[in-house]
Amino acid sequence: MAADALSRRGSNQDMTMHKPGSDQAADNPHAAMTNAAAEPVDHRADFAPAQLNALVSDVIEQAMQLGASAVEAGVSGHRGLSATVRMGQVETVEHHRDRSLSISVYKGQRKGSASCGDLRPQSIRDTVQRALDIATFTEPDACAGLVDAAMLATEFPDLDLWHPRELSAAQLIERAMEMEQAGRDVDARIHNSEGASAGFDQSVSAYGNSHGFCAAQSGTSFFESLALVAAEPASPHSMQRDYDWDNRRRFEDLLDARELGRNAAHRTLRRLGARSARTTRAPVLFTPDVARSLLGHLVAACSGGALYRQASFLLDQVGQQLFPEFVNIEERPQLPGAPGSASYDHDGVATGRHNALVSTGKLQRYVLGGYAARRLGLETTGNAGGVRNLLIHPGQDSQQSLLQQMGTGLVVNELMGQGVNTVTGDYSRGASGFWIENGEIAYPVQELTIAGNLRDMFANLLALGNDVDLRGNVQTPSWLIREMTIAGDAG
């Protein structure tokens, strides 16, 4: 079994940006295609950015006229279709179409927020009034308010994230059927399925505030997934499951349905015969699927909410060595076509001002929105709403080379449970994967617990692979960690 086959693929999604009032915002067709040669279908009535910008501006004006000292508001719309099949039969076909409005108003340093899903004029007026009423009764907060106008985005490049294509329910069902059948045909031991799904989503949103900022953003997402179940004929009750999935902005970029089905089957079959391992301390390799969560824990500990609550093991650690010197982690928030690209954050602040998070192993900054920055006496990093296209620079080694470096240890490709404490950094999670001996896979393992401390895990990162999964908002290769506690069989 090739070591690189130990990883799954994953993705995340975000939306693309358009400058209000520009030709790009006004003239973007926002059309869906029934197929590659079809005429566009106009969905401007549902999703025109200029229409949403106008609605946001009107909501802000209403709130200001009713006594707010500052206002911010957002409107979004989504539409999509998905189909799920199981064992050759259609289980669900779901169409969704929704809109929503959220508004935050400030009366000095008192804040009130309200939201609604009904965008009729009277409902909007009621929502604005409710936000104002709430602001009347909340306690003053010295850190409440909009970000400084000078920090707001003024440039809105085309980030190439809007690629609409209309797919019918019949087309999605056919794709899901093809995916599942390809997986079931791989081996007779694939005896059941948890279902195959295919679908798409289109979204458009607008954000504005009383500084005069107003901008719209749009994005498309196409997705597919399959989970299969296998068992050996001699032990039909010892079943294993695994899955594969894909998520892209362009339909044409999706992994071929039959290939995804075969991948899901092979990943399920490799789990057959899984058993526990002896309790020990040994090196652990996290495949990109699960290494992404380690970067997620880093971001959580660096985020403003955890810091101003003093609930982070990284409090006062900017400038300190967290990783070995070969580790560099940065955001690329305006990368064209990428899952998390955006030209402004949820406060309207321009992205891309503070890209490096870790440089030569040292923590360079925290991850802050406007409110958290004020609580900490710092400046926003343009991260209201989270990080965008966070990448740890890859190493030169293949996954097989990392296994040779490991010698004997554990490859983790699935994690379970939530045993991570960002206050202390303590880490303990259920795991499954493969036991490695002499740099090769010895057997699949399950029902293990791996434990350590995030600070030690970061410091003891031995090597990074070259197998980066670029489809997620958090992008990482495999991580090889020097040693962790592996709890399994006592004997």
| Structure confidence at residue 7 (pLDDT) | 45
- What number is the average pLDDT over the span 71-84? 96
Residues 18 and 124 grouped into a single domain:
yes
Given a cut of 90, whether residue 173 has pLDDT beyond it is: yes
Given a cut of 70, whether residue 42 has pLDDT beyond it is: no
| Structure confidence at residue 301 (pLDDT) | 98
Q: Is the pTM of this model over 0.75?
A: yes
| Structure confidence at residue 2 (pLDDT) | 43
Residues 249 and 313 grouped into a single domain:
no
* Residues in the chain, total: 491
Residues 108 and 229 grouped into a single domain:
yes
Residues 265 and 282 grouped into a single domain:
no
Kindly report the backbone phi and psi dihedral angles of residue 60, in degrees, each rounded to the nearest multiple of 5, phi listed first.
Answer: -60, -45
Question: pLDDT-based confidence at 6, cuts 50/70/90?
Answer: low
Decide: 433 and 410 in contact? Cβ < 8 Å. Answer: yes
46 vs 105, higher pLDDT: 105
Token pair, residue 470, equals 């670029």
Number of domains in the chain: 2
Token pair, residue 115, equals 């939201």
Question: pLDDT-based confidence at 234, cuts 50/70/90?
Answer: confident
Choose the weakest-confidence range: 25-34, 146-155, 431-440: 25-34
Question: pLDDT-based confidence at 490, cuts 50/70/90?
Answer: low
Given a cut of 50, whether residue 35 has pLDDT beyond it is: no
- Residues 124 and 62: their CA atoms lie apart, in Å, by 9
Q: Which domain holds residue 357?
A: 274-491
Residues 94 and 214 grouped into a single domain:
yes
- What number is the average pLDDT over the span 324-349? 95
- What number is the average pLDDT over the span 387-404? 96
| Structure confidence at residue 238 (pLDDT) | 85
Question: pLDDT-based confidence at 491, cuts 50/70/90?
Answer: low
| Structure confidence at residue 352 (pLDDT) | 81
Measured N-to-C along each axis, helices 169-184 and 257-269 cross at an angle, to the nearest 10 degrees, of 40
- Residues 411 and 450: their CA atoms lie apart, in Å, by 11
Residues 265 and 278 grouped into a single domain:
no
Token pair, residue 412, equals 């983790």
- Residues 344 and 229: their CA atoms lie apart, in Å, by 43
Most confident of 14-28, 180-194, 228-242: 180-194
DSSP label at residue 157: -
The residue from 221, 240, 269 where one domain ends is: 269
234 C-beta neighbours (distance < 10 Å), count: 6
Distance, C-alpha 393 to centroid of its chain: 18
Token pair, residue 408, equals 């004997």
| Structure confidence at residue 20 (pLDDT) | 32
Given a cut of 90, whether residue 424 has pLDDT beyond it is: yes
| Structure confidence at residue 46 (pLDDT) | 57
| Structure confidence at residue 481 (pLDDT) | 98
CATH number at residue 135: 3.30.2290.10
The residue from 269, 297, 332 where one domain ends is: 269
| Structure confidence at residue 31 (pLDDT) | 33
Tens-digit pLDDT profile for residues 121-144:
999 999 999 999 999 999 999 999
Residues 12 and 95 grouped into a single domain:
yes
Given a cut of 90, whether residue 9 has pLDDT beyond it is: no
Name which of 325, 307, 149, 178 is nearest 255 in CA terms: 178
Residues 229 and 374 grouped into a single domain:
no
Tens-digit pLDDT profile for residues 206-218:
999 999 999 999 9
Residues 171 and 264 grouped into a single domain:
yes
Instruction: Measure Cα distances from 80 to 100, 225, 251, 254, 333 in Å.
Output: 15, 16, 13, 17, 25
- Residues 178 and 173: their CA atoms lie apart, in Å, by 9
The residue from 246, 269, 292 where one domain ends is: 269
- The mean pLDDT value of the chain amounts to 90
Residue pointed to by tokens 């979004």: 76
